[in-house]
Structure 1
Amino acid sequence: MLHKRVASLRRIALIGLAGALAVSMSACASQRGSGQGGGDTLVFGAAGAPKNFDPIFNDDGESFRPIRQMYETLIQYKPGTAELEPALATSWTPSADAKTWTFTIRQGVKFHDGTPLDAAAVCFNFDRWYNMKGAAAQSQMIYYGDVFEGFAKNEGDTNGSPLYKSCEAKDDHTAVLNLNKAKGALPDAFGLTSLSISSPAALKQYNADTVTQSGDSFSYSAYATDHPTGTGPYKFGGYDKSNNTITLVRNEDYWGTKAKTAKLIFKIIGDENARKQELAAGTIDGYDFPSPADYNSLKSAGDQVLIRPAFNILYLGINQKNNPKLTDVRVRQAIEYAINKSQLVKNKLPEGAYPQDQFLPKNVPGHTDAVAKFDYDPNKAKQLLADAGASDLSLNFYVPTEVTRPYMPNPVDLAAAITDDLKAVGIKVNVVQEPWNGGYKDDVQKTGKQDLHLLGWTGDYADAGNFIGTFFGRPKGEFGFNDPQIFTALSTADAQTTADAKKSAYEAASVLISQYVPAVPLASPPPAIVVGKNVHGLVPSPLTDERFNTVSKG
């Protein structure tokens, strides 16, 4: 998810670990997965701090992980899949033109503050999002902007015409959503964590819409920081920044399967090796995105390495803004010919990864064998560079550090292999390393300082628009190109309301994109999540959409 692109990572010191690791290996093994607080508390090692706890103002995985346990959406993704199933809505029905959606709201559900969920509460949330005021607040509503395209009054970077028209509560349990046009991403996008339903009473009590900006920093309301109020199986118990822990407590009034642990603690540990050591020491019960190099040692120690289906794309971005030679498609083709994707997958990515020739995973409709292919051919790359007068090509290659992403387990190692391939065809490469949250994202996605960059995406739902529409649906600073033919093809595909028409339209768009080469698709690797041997019931999700209420210890 962009969410998943801009995940917040913070490096912290691991206090007292040396003493814990001084015990014998057998003692460590006996402690593995015991966690802090015994069998009624689950402790999970988080890679970074959350931005806040208001779903609508978030777009990163580290914020979404605790939010998913506290909130629910109208529709959710069936555990372990990208398929849809009922959540706060027991059914959803589109009109013939797909411009009206009727939701039957689940009865007997209460928010954590005791107020009831009803159709009016659902409409309150949709109206809140649509009427959000201020450039600062709108700029933080990344997913809403992508799906609903505009606000009642656009005050920030969003300049589209709003998809949303109105929401009517026909009765307590019937909410009717009216749109200005059909949207192909629906109904799948209704399951986005950003579109979780909050308590209207709590939103009003804690001035939830107050967002202020100072430079690149944002401040949020008490609702977002201290009083998040959803309907989920866990309630907010506090965020202790002094010891980097987020505590959630079981919602005893939950309408569905009640949480199997009384407490769920997310312990923020910014270093991946430190997370592994804490699992060995028994101070956490699991963590996300273990290094593929550690899979065997973790399994040997008795831990469970749960592999998610590959539902992502790793790519080499090409920014055409700074170097005129990159505007020549032959140069961009040469860059793709130069990279040995098969070797990259074999040497640098986990088992189950596969090379990519397009920007959609194989299991997303719109993936097609008809795309233009530029298989590894360094001689062809050299010839194209010569034909384009670019044999002296010199590029600034931006690479992130202090980050582990589902599609990018070790960006520095991946970048080194790519750099060697590019140098082998005569391209001069200046590697610029920047911390993920220390300049990289802004330099690459906003200011566009780079010529090349390493990035990727994990899908939020099984719709091609969530991949190629997000990347190439409009001009973006990350790629620095403007091709109306591609934009039109993606807009046309997004407007299709039948599965067959949408699949065909996205296949056509995929072919156009492959011919234009706005970036180089590299691979789709399957990420893992690891838990101790005594942890049961965690279902790995291709969307990284794991729910912890089904998880027990013992």
Structure 2
Amino acid sequence: MRTNRLLPLAAAAALLLSACGGGESVDTGGGGGGGDDVLIAAVSAEPDQFDPHVTNAYASFQVLENVYDTLVVPSAEDLTMQPSLAESWTTSPDGLSWTFTLRDGVPFHDGSEFDSADVVYSFNRIIDEELTNAYRFATVSDVTAPDPRTVVVTLTEPTPNLLAQIGSFKGMAIVSENAAEEFDLQSEANGTGPFRLESSDANATVLTAFDEHWGGAPSIDGVEFRYITEPTAALTALRNGEIQWTDNVPPQNVADLEGDDEVELGSVTSVEYFYMSMNYAVPPFDNRDVRRAIATAVDREEVTQAARFGAAQPNQTAIPQGSPWYLDYAPFTPDQEAARQLLEQAGVQTPITMGLMVTDESPETVAAAQVIASQLEPIGIDVEIQEEDLATWLDRQSEGEFDAFMLSWIGNIDPADFYENQHLSTGGSNYQGYSNPQVDDLLSRAATEPDQAARKALYDQAAQLVVDDVSYLYLYNPDEVQAWAPGLTGYQVRADAAIDFQNVELP
């Protein structure tokens, strides 16, 4: 359920001012932008790159959401898929062919005109180069362009969630034909979105309005994303008028901030989930009983309170309560004695040392890790918390250089988004090395099942196995909380955490 509340700050003013220097201006960095019609937005991390088909960093997608378009897009209200670059589509009776009719007269930022060749190039680039989201095309056998305004996607088997696969987030963005050859997509962009990428450095990323956007010119001249890692600093900058928007709201202050009319708050139940995962290639975490011992020792209520101060729902599965795909399954009850017995059953010697990799660009993972460390110590597991910058964290994850890690998944809509890429044996983001043939079978069958009730039953079975095996140790679903200056209009907080500034008007 979505709620809109005023973000009340008076009760926490003394805390924030003492934390940020007695109410004096906070140096938020950044250059450029800052004009009357430029939105200054504070985010917690710097983008790692701008290639939508390669990056998997949320900091990058915060920017790319405003730069690129997809064929279809989730609605802000309920995340159902709506037309975007495709204005309509049809499916064949056997479900093996989808035909998309494209919008006419859509320009890219470089002035070239969008057509079906760009879609074919974008999708084939992801497939042929086996890029981050290639798994979303697992059932696609061909992508063709019969004419400039038509794209046909041919499937090997029915794929009822194809729209979510190709449109749920900007990792499936349409780039111009031959963009990877004509642009350095790590640092440049050529999209069809409402803003164009102007510049990016260690202080800020600057976008300028693209007045020729097919959906109409943005209401503002541009956006400057400034990187403010510390949430209290971001909130102070908002109060001081140095920024007009942030999603870096201190969760410890939210409950106490009701009633203040100086800042406006938006909050919505999020489809994001935080989790911990262990490396199956590193003993003793390859032992199921060891993983289950850790899952039994962890008290998610305590972790959630420490990390989010109540602004989240503890959950032992991925999908949040309120979703039609939610599964009420919680097999682990915090019990240190039962956890010790599982370690004995596993035949391992304690103490066990476990490195737990977190990123200092997500402070709540650090707070959660500290609580988990205190919960595991009594059962003989010594946790070494390893704080990394996000780029290093991603590199270590990709190389398998970890005992355990903690972070979150965002932008999930269809149940396949929550489970396939993470838990299929061949999943592109299965960095933990999980492999269960039964899970593979259930997820594969669910992906092609057209009946929603039957599809949910398959995902429920797979989710139970994933939880029981502790492929991921799920922790909680956070509230998506964002704050902005009073009088700013045209913005809506979304459950998928996508940030869309196209219709924003400044006070």
Q: Report the CA distance between 1:251 and its aligned residue.
A: 2.1
State the partner residue of 1:254: 213
Q: Report the CA distance between 1:381 and its aligned residue.
A: 2.1
- Which one of 216, 220, 227 corresponds to residue 268 of structure 1? 227
1:468 aligns with 2:419: yes
State the partner residue of 1:57: 54
1:454 aligns with 2:406: yes
- Which one of 106, 119, 124 corresponds to residue 122 of structure 1? 119
Give the direction of change, closer, same or farther, for the CA distance of 1:464–1:545 in structure 2 (3 Å limit).
Answer: same
- Which one of 89, 94, 97 corresponds to residue 92 of structure 1? 89
2:76 maps to amino acid: P
State the partner residue of 1:142: 132
Q: Report the CA distance between 1:225 and its aligned residue.
A: 2.6
State the partner residue of 1:218: none
RMSD: 3.0
User: Partners in 2 of 1:183 and 1:418 — Cα distance?
Assistant: 39
State the partner residue of 2:444: 491
State the partner residue of 2:357: 399
Gaps in structure 1 of 5+ consecutive residues: 1-17, 30-34, 133-137, 150-162, 211-220
Gaps in structure 2 of 5+ consecutive residues: 1-16, 27-31
User: Partners in 1 of 2:432 and 2:21 — Cα distance?
Assistant: 49
1:74-111 residue CA offsets vs partner (Å, 9 max, x unmatched) = 10011243211111112222223332111111233222
User: Partners in 2 of 1:386 and 1:533 — Cα distance?
Assistant: 58
State the partner residue of 2:469: 516
User: Partners in 1 of 2:97 and 2:247 — Cα distance?
Assistant: 39
- Tell whether the 8 Å contact from 2:366 to 2:387 is kept in structure 1 after alignment: no
User: Partners in 2 of 1:516 and 1:54 — Cα distance?
Assistant: 34
With structure 2 as the length reference, what TM-score do the two structures score? 0.85
User: Partners in 1 of 2:430 and 2:58 — Cα distance?
Assistant: 22
- Tell whether the 8 Å contact from 1:336 to 1:520 is kept in structure 2 after alignment: yes
User: Partners in 2 of 1:418 and 1:93 — Cα distance?
Assistant: 49
1:235-287 residue CA offsets vs partner (Å, 9 max, x unmatched) = 33x2152x733322222222224311122222233444443343233222122
User: Partners in 2 of 1:498 and 1:79 — Cα distance?
Assistant: 25
User: Partners in 2 of 1:39 and 1:80 — Cα distance?
Assistant: 30
- Tell whether the 8 Å contact from 1:445 to 1:477 is kept in structure 2 after alignment: no
SS of residue paired to 2:162: coil
SS of residue paired to 1:410: helix
State the partner residue of 1:232: 193
State the partner residue of 1:417: 371
User: Partners in 2 of 1:289 and 1:275 — Cα distance?
Assistant: 6
1:171 maps to amino acid: D
Q: Matches of residues 284-433 of structure 1 in structure 2 within 5 Å?
A: 284-295=243-254, 296=256, 300=260, 302-324=262-284, 326-369=285-328, 371=329, 373-390=331-348, 392-404=350-362, 409-424=363-378, 426-433=379-386
Q: Matches of residues 146-161 of structure 1 in structure 2 within 5 Å?
A: 146-149=135-138
1:553 aligns with 2:498: no
Q: Report the CA distance between 1:311 and its aligned residue.
A: 0.9
1:233 maps to amino acid: P
1:294-353 residue CA offsets vs partner (Å, 9 max, x unmatched) = 3345974721222232212222212232224x4443333222221221232234324341
2:361 maps to amino acid: V
Q: Report the CA distance between 1:543 and its aligned residue.
A: 1.2
1:526 maps to amino acid: D
User: Partners in 1 of 2:117 and 2:42 — Cα distance?
Assistant: 38
Give the direction of change, closer, same or farther, for the CA distance of 1:411–1:131 in structure 2 (3 Å limit).
Answer: closer
SS of residue paired to 1:66: helix
Which stretch shifts more, 531-540 or 166-175?
166-175
The number of aligned residues is 480
Q: Report the CA distance between 1:441 and its aligned residue.
A: 3.2
State the partner residue of 1:543: 496
With structure 1 as the length reference, what TM-score do the two structures score? 0.78
User: Partners in 2 of 1:512 and 1:368 — Cα distance?
Assistant: 12
- Tell whether the 8 Å contact from 1:257 to 1:550 is kept in structure 2 after alignment: no
1:197 aligns with 2:148: no
1:142 maps to amino acid: T
